[in-house]
Structure 1
Amino acid sequence: MALLEFLHSLSEVALASAALMLAGALGLLLGGLNWRGIGLGIGGVLFAGLFVGHFTSAAGLHLSPEMLEFVREFGLIIFVFTIGIQVGPGFFATLQKAGLQFNLIAASIVLLGVTTTVALHFIADIPVPALVGLMSGAVTNTPGLGAATQVLKDAGVPSEVISEASLGYAVAYPFGIIGILITMIAVRTVLRIKIETEEEQFENARAKGAQELPAINVVVHNANLEGLPLGEVPDLYDQGVVVSRLKRGDLLMHPSRKMVLHLGDVLHLVGPADKLHAMVLILGEEVDVSLTTTKGSQLTWQRIAVTTKKALGKRIRDFGLEERGVSISRCTRAGTQLPVEASLTLQFGDILTVVGHPNDVDAVKPLFGNQAKSLELVQFAGVFFGILIGIGIGSIPIAFPGLPAPLKLGLAGGPLVTAIVLSRIGFLGPFVFFMPPVANHALRELGIVLFLAAVGLKAGGQFVDTLMNGDGFSWMFYGMFITAIPLMIVGFAARIIWKVNYLSLSGVLAGSMTDPPALAFATNMSSTSAAAIGYASVYPLVMCMRILAPQIIVLTLMV
């Protein structure tokens, strides 16, 4: 009783703050519990919020609704913005390469899930707020729940009705985690797939394919090139191929465009596989000699980070590196190696592999900054400015044919799309859109915890009653359909019709649900990176589709 009296003596803001912290702490502990890699994960915060919200309501404690509303939306904005910053640099690349097939499979799962959801609405007459919550919970996609609650609010739906989305999410979430694991096991069992065979096929296919930026050594046998300057060799420069070293006899040298080529010279080339193959046909033949080490020679190589704003937006050709006696053989951006062309524009955080004489390499470092500590700092000016733009873009009505009302990206979609574009651009005037991975993870975790805790607290007073006396158990049953039908149909079709490697397919299935526990389950089946590659390939596109889908459903069925 004394505790209850003390709680009643607190202000609404203090009480709401305490409830948020309690839900966050309990939820993270609950989400950390797992059995064989399977657990609630971050979803544990929602269930803790529901628990705390139920008991605060039963005790007659009043939490500030305005504060919970602000925390919910602010947490959502932080979460989706950091997701966009994370996936942005590689987002467009995943739509172009071998990931295209993976993305088509994942997009099919999303679209079939939306179709199943809409069909259940007409068959079972499920209210739209509960419907979009069920869909987000059935695919374990929390940003989708955020988008759903935001668009319902924009549509003028009362707060007590909006809470049905959170309730639907909560009852569908557990099977959303289990359902994808059942699908993986079913595909493997029914089709009698052997993991060892899949591992071998994956490794063989990977060995045949080129690395992201392979390097080869080519000896010059073409007599037509004798005495010709390197700069005049067809397609050798400005086509994404870089000559980082030249060996003549026992001497290892740094090549320049003016250097005269002789028969027997060995060139160390770095670039896209197709361009390297073309250069072999022009120069001579590939040889298996080691030019990767500069030990014992007058050359060295160092990785230099682009950290000065003076270098941002400049092209490699603007630095006059050849005149300075150095060259850039590789450029790594957000974990992806880019072909080095003279027209390549630099961004903050790019890691350049610079080759040349030690003194010359040291001399060019100031041109790029190379301040390692700068890579550990969050560019908060860019974060705040980016979120400001995202809120503005999310509030712009966009008319689509067939929809009765304009679509808004909202506080979920606006910051997400903006972050993807800005992280791709890299900087805008004085604002730099770079975030260290550790800081990105911390802010993303904070945002989603605040969002889920606030959602749980607002819906907690109705959860037990809905589950025991309302439609909670039937909603749970419908959520199973939304989870299982798309996964089973597309999963079996991808394997039987398109012959997708099972390990890669498991990663794609996990990515289509944006479900880290499912990815952990898939990676534990094999020592290869197949599942992780599949997951990463589809994650950016799926995340955008999962956020936009609830908005389209609400606007189509309610307006």
Structure 2
Amino acid sequence: MHGVAQALLVLSAVAALGLGLGQIKVAGVRLGVGGALFAGLAFGHFGIGMEANMLTFVREFGLVLFVYAIGVSVGPGFFEAFKKDGIVLNVLAVAIVVSGTLAAVVVHLVVGIELPAALGILSGAVTNTPSLAAGQQVLNQLGVNNVGAMMGQAYAVAYPFGIVGILLTMLLVRVGFRLNAERAAQDFEAEQAANYTAVETVNVVVRNPAVAGCQLRDLDELKEMGVVLSRVLHDGSQHVVSADDVLAEGDVVLAIGPRNKLERLKRLIGPIADVDLKTMESTEVAWERMVVTHSAVLGKSLGELNFRANHNLVISRISRAGHDLVPGAHLKLQFGDILTVVGDPQGFGTVAALVGNRSKALQETQMIPIFIGIALGMLAGSVPVMLPGLPAPVQLGLAGGPLVVAIALSRLGHVGPLVWFMPPAANHMMRDFGIALFLAAVGLKSGQGFVDTLLFGDGLRWMACGVAVTLVPLVTVAVVGYWLTRLNYLSLCGVLAGSMTDPPALAFAQGMSTSEAPILSYAAIYPLVMVLRVVAPQVVALVLWGI
């Protein structure tokens, strides 16, 4: 057996064995997909591999799939990450990235580790695979020999403690500052509850003489309030609210909006009514939820669509990514938005056809946007960027180009009929498949001579340097950062895991409590950290090569 058949057999065996190995827990920690690296090392050690060109293609293709899926996943919330605490989180993460990169420079210049090995140690110590690919690419462009094997071996030697070091830092901070994970979870939930403005409904009865007899369009205070009036009960029958309605004393109005705005509405119109219009039977007014899946309405505002005037229907609320939004006129529809439509049931069919309302579409993977995005990522990654003081331009490369493009496209949402949305299950599959291919290929490439390097060569010295590159930045930034900012402990754990782009460490942090704090801070810093991790080894290589 040879060629494609052999390559597929070897890759499948390495990936299956590695992923199985990654599920084994030791002291509550799993290697996860990182097991594919060590399975590949074992196969490579015993001389089981594939053709060099095919191995290179598999490695680069897997990397592209992985970083593109990551970009699509984190893109929609990337720019939101810089609001409020996001700035603090990203400053701490950048400090870890920069100090870790400087530690690798010290390893090369002071300890005397060869530059390829130093860059491999940096990538392994921070458990960042795209960083390894970026370093290999720039050194190949500089004409350095034997880059792949040396960097891969150094990466593999430093990788295990890269995971363990993050966990040790989390425990050190908890013990040193006498912190409690459950208490941190409670504090985080309390802060989230205080900052989150929930959308509520209220039935108010018209009692204000100044409002009775007025058309709704003439109530200027109501226009500026930021609430939606969906239906009104007048003379025993319900109908959809329109701007021409004249309120009469005793009418009951159903309103939707934030609690503080609804309090203002009660002061304007009247107190809470004894009836709930939502539970009253009515042949004229009903409600239904519809999901936005039609490309024709994506990016259009509710004011442009004007459901009230065109269909005698009201959009009373919009659910997006698990949060309810008040449907103002300027709010633009996005793929996957869930609309609560109120009005004459006979008009539901028309509006459903307009917005799509195909729940199945949320589970379908659109392949054309994926291939277009990857192609654009290849182009973006090949663009040279000159940075002051560097002798040669920096490129985002295969690791950074698809990532940046995916972030931009998923944030944009759609271009015409092309929608950059990927079902979570498809995204996770693409991400895990890609990284498994990449790590398996790196292991196969590095396996030859790995054991000899570890036992009889520079392996132990590389490992010691990897411990320093892992621990020094993490412990320094964690301790100083917590002392200065008093950041929530679970959020800090998310920063530590995200700064190393390390899912096993994130899983460990999430296991401390049921709070979402770790994953939220992890996601807030992940895109910026990933870009920096890709750029850092290129800058180091360009500056230090030849010194």
* Residue 164 of structure 2, aligned match among 175, 178, 200: 178
* Residue 83 of structure 1, aligned match among 66, 70, 74: 70
Taking structure 1 as the reference length, the TM-score comes to: 0.88
* Residue 124 of structure 1, aligned match among 111, 115, 127: 111
* Residue 498 of structure 1, aligned match among 485, 494, 504: 485
- Equivalent residue for 1:28? 19
- Equivalent residue for 2:241? 255
CA distance in 2, matches of 1:193, 1:76: 38
Cα deviation 1:197-241 (Å, max 9, x = unaligned): 333323332332224x53354857766544444344447558864
Superposition deviation, residue 310 in structure 1: 2.0
Output the amino acid matched with 1:517: P
* 2:196 counterpart of 1:210: yes
* 2:137 counterpart of 1:150: yes
- Equivalent residue for 1:365? 352
Q: From the superposition, tell whether residues 117 and 309 of structure 1 become closer, same or farther in structure 2 (CA, over 3 Å).
A: same
* Residue 306 of structure 1, aligned match among 292, 298, 323: 292
Structure 1 segment 98-117 matched on structure 2, within 5 A: 98-117=85-104
CA distance in 1, matches of 2:510, 2:67: 26
SS at match of 1:38: coil
* Residue 283 of structure 1, aligned match among 268, 272, 280: 268
* 2:184 counterpart of 1:198: yes
Output the amino acid matched with 2:395: K
CA distance in 2, matches of 1:370, 1:550: 47
* 2:332 counterpart of 1:345: yes
- Equivalent residue for 2:46? 55
CA distance in 2, matches of 1:141, 1:381: 29
* Residue 391 of structure 1, aligned match among 351, 372, 378: 378
Output the amino acid matched with 2:61: F
Superposition deviation, residue 381 in structure 1: 0.9
Query: Do 2:394 and 2:535's aligned partners in 1 also have CA atoms closer than 8 Å?
Result: no
Q: From the superposition, tell whether residues 528 and 163 of structure 1 become closer, same or farther in structure 2 (CA, over 3 Å).
A: same
* 2:79 counterpart of 1:92: yes
- Equivalent residue for 1:68? 55
Output the amino acid matched with 1:81: Y
Cα deviation 1:68-93 (Å, max 9, x = unaligned): 11111111111111111111111111
Superposition deviation, residue 25 in structure 1: 1.0
CA distance in 1, matches of 2:95, 2:277: 44
Taking structure 2 as the reference length, the TM-score comes to: 0.90
- Residue ranges of structure 1 left out of the alignment (5+ in a row): 1-9
CA distance in 1, matches of 2:213, 2:28: 63
Output the amino acid matched with 2:268: L
Superposition deviation, residue 425 in structure 1: 1.4
Output the amino acid matched with 1:191: F
Output the amino acid matched with 2:297: A
* 2:542 counterpart of 1:555: yes
* 2:521 counterpart of 1:513: no
* 2:158 counterpart of 1:167: no
Output the amino acid matched with 1:203: E
- Equivalent residue for 2:399? 412
Q: How many residues align?
A: 542
- Equivalent residue for 1:483? 470
Query: Do 1:508 and 1:531's aligned partners in 2 also have CA atoms closer than 8 Å?
Result: yes
CA distance in 2, matches of 1:154, 1:281: 69
Output the amino acid matched with 1:122: L
Superposition deviation, residue 110 in structure 1: 2.0
Q: From the superposition, tell whether residues 113 and 96 of structure 1 become closer, same or farther in structure 2 (CA, over 3 Å).
A: same
Query: Do 1:88 and 1:419's aligned partners in 2 also have CA atoms closer than 8 Å?
Result: yes
CA distance in 1, matches of 2:20, 2:359: 35
Query: Do 2:413 and 2:419's aligned partners in 1 also have CA atoms closer than 8 Å?
Result: yes
Percent of paired sites with the same residue:
46
CA distance in 2, matches of 1:233, 1:100: 40
Query: Do 2:202 and 2:262's aligned partners in 1 also have CA atoms closer than 8 Å?
Result: no
* 2:11 counterpart of 1:14: no
Q: From the superposition, tell whether residues 333 and 73 of structure 1 become closer, same or farther in structure 2 (CA, over 3 Å).
A: farther
CA distance in 2, matches of 1:260, 1:508: 55
Q: From the superposition, tell whether residues 22 and 205 of structure 1 become closer, same or farther in structure 2 (CA, over 3 Å).
A: same
* Residue 316 of structure 1, aligned match among 302, 310, 319: 302
Query: Do 1:37 and 1:520's aligned partners in 2 also have CA atoms closer than 8 Å?
Result: no
Query: Do 1:216 and 1:286's aligned partners in 2 also have CA atoms closer than 8 Å?
Result: no
* 2:428 counterpart of 1:441: yes
Superposition deviation, residue 340 in structure 1: 3.1
* Residue 122 of structure 2, aligned match among 127, 130, 135: 135
CA distance in 1, matches of 2:132, 2:495: 22
CA distance in 1, matches of 2:375, 2:289: 34
CA distance in 1, matches of 2:394, 2:114: 20
Q: From the superposition, tell whether residues 300 and 137 of structure 1 become closer, same or farther in structure 2 (CA, over 3 Å).
A: farther
CA distance in 2, matches of 1:116, 1:295: 68
Query: Do 1:394 and 1:409's aligned partners in 2 also have CA atoms closer than 8 Å?
Result: yes
- Equivalent residue for 1:3? none
Query: Do 2:256 and 2:326's aligned partners in 1 also have CA atoms closer than 8 Å?
Result: no
Q: From the superposition, tell whether residues 250 and 488 of structure 1 become closer, same or farther in structure 2 (CA, over 3 Å).
A: farther
CA distance in 2, matches of 1:458, 1:27: 15
Output the amino acid matched with 2:256: L
Query: Do 2:254 and 2:277's aligned partners in 1 also have CA atoms closer than 8 Å?
Result: no
Q: From the superposition, tell whether residues 349 and 201 of structure 1 become closer, same or farther in structure 2 (CA, over 3 Å).
A: closer
Q: From the superposition, tell whether residues 358 and 458 of structure 1 become closer, same or farther in structure 2 (CA, over 3 Å).
A: same
Cα deviation 1:162-217 (Å, max 9, x = unaligned): 33222122111111111111111111111112344333323332332224x53354
Cα deviation 1:51-72 (Å, max 9, x = unaligned): 111111xxxx662100011111
SS at match of 1:497: helix
Greater mean deviation of Cα atoms: 29-38 or 346-355: 346-355
Greater mean deviation of Cα atoms: 353-362 or 15-24: 353-362
Greater mean deviation of Cα atoms: 237-246 or 168-177: 237-246
Superposition deviation, residue 284 in structure 1: 6.6
Query: Do 2:62 and 2:438's aligned partners in 1 also have CA atoms closer than 8 Å?
Result: yes
CA distance in 1, matches of 2:523, 2:45: 38
SS at match of 2:318: strand
Q: From the superposition, tell whether residues 294 and 218 of structure 1 become closer, same or farther in structure 2 (CA, over 3 Å).
A: closer
What value does the CA root-mean-square deviation take over the aligned residues?
A: 3.0
Greater mean deviation of Cα atoms: 295-304 or 367-376: 295-304
